[in-house]
Amino acid sequence: MRALQHDRVALAARVRAPWWYHPVLGAIVGAFIASPAVGSTSARSTLVTFGCVGLVFLMLAYRRVTGFSVSGAAGPRSRARMLAVLAIVLLLFVASMVLAATGNEPWVVATVLAAFVAVVVGGRRFERMHGEELRGGR
């Protein structure tokens, strides 16, 4: 039993993202949130394409650093945190689309900043809960 607990603690420490992971993810999500306010269709497509490529490279970098692929939640608390961050990001994306459609593009910056903060803060809290659930065996 003691060996199993030791392995849980080691796993929780190993899957911890590097310090730069959540800010980079927040910047990529911010680019997606900003995309409705980009005037040119080709520029918007380029922004979204670079965002998708950035996500792929971020997942590959995470795997290289931790040895694991990006995974889901380990238990109910981390799952709830992950879904809450996702819901906030989706609501901010809708707000960005509404602001852009109504000619209020400058206000999209506020949705981008809010999404960045939600991803960085929420992601780090998710990671902390995820580690606790891994250590606890859930």
Radius of gyration of the chain (CA): 17
Residues 71, 54: Cα–Cα separation, whole Å: 18
Query: Domain boundaries in the chain?
Result: 2-136
Q: Which of 83, 84, 106, 132 is nearest to 36 (CA)?
A: 106
How far is the C-alpha of 109 from the C-alpha of 22, rounded, in Å? 19
What pLDDT shows up at residue 2?
Answer: 75
Distance CA 24, CA 101 (A): 27
Distance CA 24, CA 57 (A): 11
Residues 6+ apart with CB under 8 A from 81: 73, 122, 125, 126, 129
Q: Which one is predicted more confidently, 12 or 38?
A: 38
pLDDT of residue 7: 64
Token pair belonging to 109: 């910056």
- The pTM (predicted TM-score) of the whole model is 0.87
What per-residue confidence (pLDDT) applies to 134? 77
pLDDT in tens, 36-88: 999 889 999 999 999 999 999 999 998 898 887 767 777 888 889 999 999 99
